[in-house]
Amino acid sequence: MLRMTKSRSRVTTLAAPLLLAGLIGVVSGGCSGGGDRATNAPLSAAERSAQGKALAALDDQWSKAAASRDTARIASFYADDAVIYPPGSPPVTGRAAAQEVWGLLVADPAFSLSWSATHAEVAACGDLGFTSGPYQATLTGPGGAKTLERGKFLCIWRRQADGTWKAAHDMWNADSP
């Protein structure tokens, strides 16, 4: 389920990189609102660095939640209106839909998953950030044998009104077909 299928259409193949480019453009460029909610000033480089480290730590907590196989805990990291882009499947929207996707993954008796945010960045506006890095999953493959999958992920995070970060867009894909 973590693996992309080869039956994707050309439109889907092109849509993901375009979406990714647009999201990264928003994160690295400007966003609505301002960095400091009180002054509307952009965040300083030091503030962005500190918040990026905090975002990476949050992503690490999420990876540990995934290892627990507790779908409610895993889904708690998503925004209410999050969009999840599972490989080989249409995007799903909302925390409840995310919990369903994760339910399908953890139902596999061989399922294990870990990832590491090797890059984390917060936009100058302070309301958006992203994490990316490698993941490793074990799943039941064809014929019932355990299969090791390595891949990469990108998650766009959005700061909520209460100051917490929630995953707004989450996508991943395997390194090999």
Task: Give the residue with greater pLDDT, 168 vs 24.
Answer: 168
What value does the mean pLDDT take over residues 18-45?
A: 57
Answer yes or no: are the C-beta atoms of 153 and 133 closer than 8 Å: yes
Domains of the chain: 10-29+43-174 (3.10.450.50)
Region of residue 17 (left: phi > 0; alpha: psi -120 to 50; beta: else)? alpha
Residue 176: predicted pLDDT: 86
Answer yes or no: are the C-beta atoms of 65 and 74 closer than 8 Å: yes
**What per-residue string of b and e applies to 87-120 under the rule 16 or more CB within 10 Å gives b?**
beeeeeebbebbbebbeebbebeebebebebeeb
Residue 172 has pLDDT above 50, yes or no: yes
Residue 144 has pLDDT above 80, yes or no: yes
* Diameter of the chain measured on Cα atoms: 59
pLDDT digits (tens, 9 = 90+) for 81-140: 999 999 889 999 999 999 999 999 999 999 999 999 999 999 999 999 999 999 999 999
